[in-house]
Amino acid sequence: MWRSLGPLNLPEWEKNILARWRAENTFQRSLEKRRQGTRFSFYEGPPSANGKPGIHHVFARTLKDLVCRYKTMRGYYVPRRAGWDTHGLPVELSVEKELGLTKADIGRRISIADYNRACREAVMRYKAAWDELTERMGYWVDLQNPYITFAPQYIESVWWLLKAFYERGLLYRDYTIQPYSPAAGTALSQHELNLPGAYRLVRDPSLTVQFRSQDDPNLYFLAWTTTPWTLPSNAALAVGANFEYVEVETLQPYTHAPIRVVLAAEALPRYFPPEGDHLPLSPESVDLRTGQLPYRIRRRFPGHKLVGLRYEPLFTYVIPEGDAWRIIPADFVSTEEGTGLVHIAPTFGADDFKVARQHRIPPILICDEEGHPSPLVDKQGRFVPQVTDFAGRYVRNYTDDPHYRPVDEDIALLLRQKGLLFRKDTYEHNYPHCWRTDKPILYYPIEAWFIRTSALREKLVQLNKTIQWHPATIGEKRFGNWLENVEDWNLSRSRFWGIPLPIWRTADGRYERCIGSFAELHQAIEEARHAGLMQENPLDRPDFDPHRPYVDAIVLVAPDGSPMYREPDVIDVWFDSGAMPYAQWHYPFEHTEEFSHSFPADFIAEGVDQTRGWFYTLHVIAAALFDSVAYKNVLVNGLVLDKEGNKMSKRLGNVIDPFELLEKYGADPTRWYLVSNAPPWENVRFDEKRLAEKVRIFFGTLHNTYEFFALYARIDGYTPQPLPQIETLALIDRWLLGQVEYLTDAVTQAYDSYNPTQAARLLEEFVVEELSNWYVRLNRRRFWKGEKDTDKWTAFTILREALLRVAQLMAPIAPFYAEVLWSALQGEGSVHESDFPLARLALYNADLAEAMHKTRKLASLLHSLRKKSGIRVRQPLPRALVPASYRRWLAPLEDLLKAEVNLRTITYLDDHSEAVRYELRPNYRLLGPRLGPRLQELAAYLRTLSQSAILETLQRGALLWEGETFSLQELDLRAQALTGWLHTSDEGLTVALDTRLTPELIAEGEARELIHLIQLARKEAGLEVTDRIALSIYLPQPHRSTLEPFTPLITRETLATSLTWRDTPPSGEPMLFLDTIPLYIEITKAYEHA
């Protein structure tokens, strides 16, 4: 028993543990043991295996794993099933890049079937790497039976959910302005637009443009825009009906022609500095560098007076049918920026679209190649040929061309040439970008299918209040605020590799049908066959694939006999993952009981970026269709950044390879570092040096403590024994047992509150400071001594109990080393099959804990004084002064403190006047304004105070002087140690150390230094700690005579059976020096000497 584990080698030990877990099926055994326990349901958010896993995945999976391991040890049955997210833009874009395609090539250069086949292969390309990382980091999840979102059974469950939305009137089709990604070729939902990093700071040209009145050719309406490329699509101007507007006489800034312009009165200072009102209306008064323009206000009027006025279009590339180019009122008009008149392009803004429809303003449209109405910018983000001046030009940079020239610049130039540009500026603002292509989006008119989430707003908000968010602020603020302003969910995507929308419609839109199962689809195809619209039923084939293009070929029959074709879109991939609580079980077609046991989840965990992603879609589906939450507890983790706080990217070269990290340091230190560094919901600044420190300080200390125990337990033949009765134990033993139970209670509370950071830090403090640096160090002699008495067995039993408890408490976070430690101490079973310990707080004595805390605090302060003085610890010192108020705490533990600090005596005093002289002065900065000239009188009074008066002031916490009270913060306390003394203070505790050495103390210090040198010599000679030795020492006089009286101490401490003091030195150089004195030591094993 009690084998040595050898030098700390976590990566190698972890591989051995993995092999053991596989051989013994430990994960499955841990589940089976708790199968009859209360179910704790966990959902694994499905990653996509089309890319390699990163260090941020290790972070998120560590949090999931530790909660599930903890709950299992608490007796819960916690099955956890892996899953794979297989559809969507990430996969499609990677395949397009790999094959050298664009979206326009699909169906032309490559068939949809071949393209989707490539997507299917690509999406699982790195599954082996994901599986390897999952196992290597110790994440226990069922990889053998994962749910896969491209599986037909999964898709059928999703169709069932979609039909449920449809039947509740929550799934509808509409033509609206939606966020659109030209680079990806598809519309995006609002929650995709609000993923972290989607909004980026950009600098765009902003133009103030003159729109000429139809009725007065010298009158212009000024409108400001940050999207000049939308100006060819202008169809109206909007004003605030109740705002005040002004007509201003001025000069055109570039041509200097006299003109009159209209703008909001509040906008006037932005365009016309006040001094311009006094300048002559002549070209000499114009200064474009300073913005100086001469002007005169002609008249003022309310905005409603402008409504109905008409203006000339800036561009006439397309003349719409209808009543365009007039002024309309709008509630969203503001005077905080711009001119107070808003340029309306109905095809490129949601507000513009709505207000134009409200006032019957026609959009500027053309007919595309298929005869469908289309805006002046195509879906690739380029101007159509009809915009002759800019045909084929990208309206934003959707290229990788470093020489790309913004079309906005050329639009501004053309307007200036026309005399219609009033001002050009640069505007810095946040603009949304596609979450997968990193290119800017457009707001674009699209016919799409929507989930009516706005109708669910109140339900979503109320159900969210029942979820326990960790941290609460994410649920209350970030997620809660999002729900309170939720908009309808744009569900459809004009892509190829995704779950097809199961809706069939007639060409004229009179009939439509939403399919909710394969059985329903099979029956509908049979009806179409009888109507002559289908030749065969593809669902009769066992290999039926419900993806495009196969479902596209299915034609159904309407009630009037006309054909119904499937809506060509696929659905938002976020719906795929949000459907996993149901679709993973093929619900409601199979496993209804399994679903009922697992829904809703007790716990989920993902990164903060999922607030508008998976967390949201889970919540919407569950609330809409089941009137329930999808999860009860959610733990949100922050980002993993580099040590400077920068996001990791290949471009910056700061990406960390998790495989290399685990190979170098091991999974446990990596997991521990990620968890203990900061609370999970905060961003982690990953610093490899600090990870290495975790290995050395925490794991190294814990390992050394076990090795210390194992060494002496092996030597003495210790066998496990029951704990003695608490009342029979020494105070230090009672204290450690109490701390173990207190730690157990605190760690349990931390895990229960989903705060593993607190658990890890509590364990670190206990292992390093309380167990190793205090209990073991103060009790070394009990393990070393030769007598195998009750005292020694008790020390072994208590230390083993503490190490076993640490193994259990750390097991959720560091599963590998916990297993190593448990096996070494327990000998059988797995720590992960053990029951998580329940705190026995009856063993915890709060008074004893406080007394030991104060003793450790005093020891720390006295050690700091020793270090400051340069006096080594092996040198005894005469005494220390501590406050008399500490007597009741310290008296039972005084011998411990004296042994730890190497002191002869401790003196309790109400003051330290024999060691320290105090002086009080005014705090001139604080009291100067209060006292003025009286400040010097106070200073003089403080100089007269005796030491006892100063100490009384300190104890009282305030000074009374001439009827006024002064706090200690308003005074400056200075202390000067007297000769031979050192002192220090911390948090109101002052101690003093007497450093005056007597010859007797010096002699004992030299004897203890000699013992230290002999122990080093033993180690260099390769002796075992149990070997008895014979000593022969030469030390010149008078030092020999000084140390000879300490012979019994020297032999006892060095396990020497004899010590011979030589009269003459042997030949050769001295082996060692005692300070500067040459020292010769000869060591032989005792049996050789005999």
The residues that are catalytic are: 46, 85, 574, 610, 614, 647, 650
Q: Cis peptide before 1038, with omega less than 30 degrees from 0?
A: yes
Which residues, in sequence order, are bridge partners of residue 1062?
A: none
Alpha-helical segments (H) within 729-788: 731-752, 756-764, 777-778, 780-784
- Residue 625 phi/psi, 5-degree rounding, is -105, -20
For 441, counting Cβ atoms within 10 Å of its Cβ (0-12 exposed, 13-18 middle, 19+ buried), the class is buried
| CA angle centred on 371, ends 392 and 234, rounded to 5° | 55
Measured between alpha carbons, how far is 10 from 259 in angstroms, rounded to an integer? Answer: 81
Measured between alpha carbons, how far is 182 from 439 in angstroms, rounded to an integer? Answer: 8
Residues 6+ apart with CB under 8 A from 579: 154, 157, 158, 161, 617, 621
Question: Half-sphere exposure of residue 203, counting CA atoms within 13 Å on the CB side?
Answer: 3
Residue with tokens 């679903």: 595
How far apart, in Å, are the Cα atoms of 950 and each of 261, 631, 881, 956, 957? Answer: 79, 62, 18, 10, 10
Alpha-helical segments (H) within 678-810: 688-694, 700-716, 731-752, 756-764, 777-778, 780-784, 790-810
Q: Cis peptide before 346, with omega less than 30 degrees from 0?
A: no
Contact (Cβ atoms closer than 8 angstroms) between residue 816 and residue 723 = no
Contact (Cβ atoms closer than 8 angstroms) between residue 869 and residue 982 = yes
Measured between alpha carbons, how far is 809 from 831 in angstroms, rounded to an integer? Answer: 10
Ramachandran bin of 5, using left for φ above 0, alpha for ψ from -120 to 50, beta for the remaining angles: alpha
Measured between alpha carbons, how far is 710 from 285 in angstroms, rounded to an integer? Answer: 93
Measured between alpha carbons, how far is 26 from 582 in angstroms, rounded to an integer? Answer: 29
Strand segments, DSSP code E, in 546-623 are 555-557, 563-566, 570-571, 604-607
- Residue 944 phi/psi, 5-degree rounding, is -90, -10
Q: How many CB atoms lie within 10 A of CB 930?
A: 13
DSSP-derived letter for residue 321 is S
The SS3 of residue 393 is coil
Contact (Cβ atoms closer than 8 angstroms) between residue 10 and residue 51 = no
Residue with tokens 């005579």: 1041
Residues 6+ apart with CB under 8 A from 551: 500, 502, 566
Q: Which two tokens stand for residue 936?
A: 């010097």
- Residue 563 phi/psi, 5-degree rounding, is -75, 150
Measured between alpha carbons, how far is 91 from 109 in angstroms, rounded to an integer? Answer: 19
Which residues, in sequence order, are bridge partners of residue 619?
A: none
Strands 219-225, 81-84: pairing is unpaired
Measured between alpha carbons, how far is 297 from 295 in angstroms, rounded to an integer? Answer: 7
Measured between alpha carbons, how far is 158 from 515 in angstroms, rounded to an integer? Answer: 11
Measured between alpha carbons, how far is 635 from 436 in angstroms, rounded to an integer? Answer: 25
Measured between alpha carbons, how far is 436 from 1062 in angstroms, rounded to an integer? Answer: 83
Q: Which two tokens stand for residue 363?
A: 């959009």
Contact (Cβ atoms closer than 8 angstroms) between residue 246 and residue 341 = no
Q: How many CB atoms lie within 10 A of CB 497?
A: 27
Measured between alpha carbons, how far is 791 from 783 in angstroms, rounded to an integer? Answer: 9
